[in-house]
């Protein structure tokens, strides 16, 4: 007859099996947890490049913003002969588009008037004259930066009549005829075009016959408007002005030696508080973009 194991030994054996089983489960759980932990720890390493790239973009954006903020706002007062009105307005639009921190304030008038304004301390940073004598006077008084004085443009003086004129004028000498009652010219004392007109009449020996017919304009734009309206029989303006109007027609060109004297110099004003910006603007006037605009309006660009 076989002997049976005591009950307590049987229970002990069952307990031992149970303990071993629990130990195995515990090891499995621990291993799984370790794997998950390891995987989780690897994630920051994967995302690091994205964080670095974002930081680089943010730094670049801040740098760009800082650079723009350091561009000081500048206002430039540009005194220019009235015959330059249309060309300078277009050039200024282009310049401020490329230089958004710059505000350009143009002042158009007869060159002599502008000269007097500058002499009296009116705000001006750049001066573009239609005649050399006005610039000469300012340079003699040390009111311009001499090293910045440069001849910029040439122009041509022409005789014009209203587009519907029936007087049949063909030359300057025809102005002496009885049919011509009034001739508009710029003030010879302050308007270069007026001075050139007077020189033309002197050279052709017409001054004594024509002086009583003068209607004096403050600048060439005023002279042009007198002819356009038909309030005068004829007038002398620049070719650039005549080309802008369909209300006038050109009769004759001034003598070559007169037209050879028509030079537009430019310079930076000595009293300018933004001379660096003023010089940069003046240099732009001699560049290819400005040259194309000047030529569109009929000017001849001399260059530096």
**Domain-by-domain residue ranges, the chain?**
74-154+263-301, 157-259
Q: Choose the CATH number for 157-259 among 3.40.190.10, 3.30.70.141, 3.40.50.720, 3.40.50.150.
A: 3.40.190.10
Q: 45-100: per-residue pLDDT in tens? A: 444 444 444 545 544 444 444 444 447 999 999 999 999 999 999 999 999 999 99
pLDDT value at residue 10:
57
As assigned by CATH, the class of the 74-154+263-301 domain is alpha beta
Domain pair 74-154+263-301 / 157-259, same fold: yes
Pair of tokens at residue 164? 């519907």
Query: Which segments of the chain have a pLDDT < 70?
Result: 1-70, 303-304
pLDDT value at residue 43:
47
pLDDT value at residue 140:
98
State pTM to two decimals: 0.75
């Amino acid at each position: 007859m076989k002997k049976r194991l005591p009950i307590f030994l049987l229970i002990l054996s069952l307990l031992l099996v149970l303990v071993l089983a629990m130990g195995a489960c515990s090891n499995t759980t621990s291993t799984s947890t370790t794997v998950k932990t390891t995987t989780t720890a690897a994630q920051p390493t994967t995302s690091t490049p994205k964080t670095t790239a974002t930081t680089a973009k943010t730094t670049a954006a801040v740098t760009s913003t800082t650079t723009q903020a350091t561009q000081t706002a500048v206002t430039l007062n540009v005194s220019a002969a009235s015959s330059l009105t249309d060309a300078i307005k277009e050039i200024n639009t282009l310049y401020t588009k490329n230089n958004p921190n710059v505000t350009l304030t143009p002042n158009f008038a007869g060159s002599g008037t502008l000269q007097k304004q500058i002499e009296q301390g009116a705000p001006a940073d750049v001066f573009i004259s239609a005649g050399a004598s006005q610039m000469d006077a300012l340079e003699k008084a040390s009111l311009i930066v001499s090293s910045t004085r440069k001849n910029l443009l040439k122009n041509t003086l022409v005789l014009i009549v209203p587009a519907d004129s029936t007087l049949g004028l063909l030359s300057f000498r025809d102005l002496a005829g009885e049919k011509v009652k009034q001739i508009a010219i710029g003030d010879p004392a302050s308007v270069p075009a007026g001075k050139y007109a007077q020189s033309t009449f002197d050279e052709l020996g017409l001054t004594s016959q024509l002086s009583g017919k003068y209607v004096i304009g403050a600048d060439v734009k005023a002279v042009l408007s007198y002819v356009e309206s038909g309030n005068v029989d004829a007038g002398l303006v620049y070719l650039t002005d005549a080309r802008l109007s369909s209300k006038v027609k050109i009769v004759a060109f001034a003598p070559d030696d007169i037209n050879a004297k028509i030079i537009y110099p430019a310079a930076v004003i000595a009293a300018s508080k933004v001379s660096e910006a003023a010089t940069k603007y003046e240099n732009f006037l001699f560049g290819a973009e400005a040259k194309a605009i000047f030529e569109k309006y009929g000017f001849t660009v001399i260059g530096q």
